[in-house]
Amino acid sequence: MSNNQRRNRKAVLNAFECRREDLLFSFNAIGFVRSPYESTKQVPKGLGAQHEAEGTIEILPEFEQGLMDIEGFSHLMVLWVFDRSEGYELVGKPPSDDRLHGVFATRSPRRPNPIGLTTVELLSREGRRLRVRGIDMLDGTPILDVKPYLSSVPSEKLRRGWLAEAEERTKRSS
């Protein structure tokens, strides 16, 4: 890295530190979802919700080359936009619990930055179309990015937070 690049990087980081409220990010969709869901009421929610729906992630033609070698991965993380969500609530009751939780501890679409993240199973690739299972987005949802799912966290070390507690309460009351 040259001295000029270091100075520019430092200036950017300093600007970030000092003027975070001035930052504005702009993203462009790289594709769109083809999903069986037309409305949020159709998407499974709550404890025990199974996300087994199949759909297609259609990457725009100008980004197709970026899919090279993706078919070697079993699962993908899909970053997308809650494009039909308006406003946000920092605290709310999710469908899986009767207690209040902070928005950052839930999957609520009503977020300060309406960005969603879903892990899907890659079933096949046909050109710029990825056939996947595990869709929980509405038809036409804009896709921001796709990444292979790689986790080095063993399942016994994963914690499910308040969701595990809500599941336990549900079991006890049944």
DSSP-derived letter for residue 64 is G
Reading the block at residue 63, the tokens are 């980004």
Element containing residue 131 per DSSP (H, E): strand 129-133
Strand partners, 146: 78
Question: Sign of dihedral through CA atoms 151, 153, 156, 160?
Answer: negative
- In CATH, the number for domain 27-150 is 2.40.30.70
Per-residue model confidence (pLDDT) at position 17: 53
Q: Domain residue spans in the chain?
A: 27-150
Task: Please check the confidence at residue 1 and state whether its pLDDT lies above 60.
Answer: no
Reported confidence tier of residue 3, pLDDT bands at 50, 70, 90:
low
**Tokens 């499910």, residue?**
160
pLDDT at 124: 97
Give the range with max mean pLDDT: 16-20, 130-134, 152-156, 160-164: 130-134
Ranges 10-19, 53-62, 119-128: which has the least confidence = 10-19
Q: Is the pLDDT of residue 12 over 50?
A: no
**Residue 156 confidence (pLDDT):** 81
| pLDDT at site 53 | 94
Find the helix or strand (DSSP H, E) in which 143 lies.
strand 142-148
Q: What mean pLDDT is predicted for residues 55-83?
A: 96
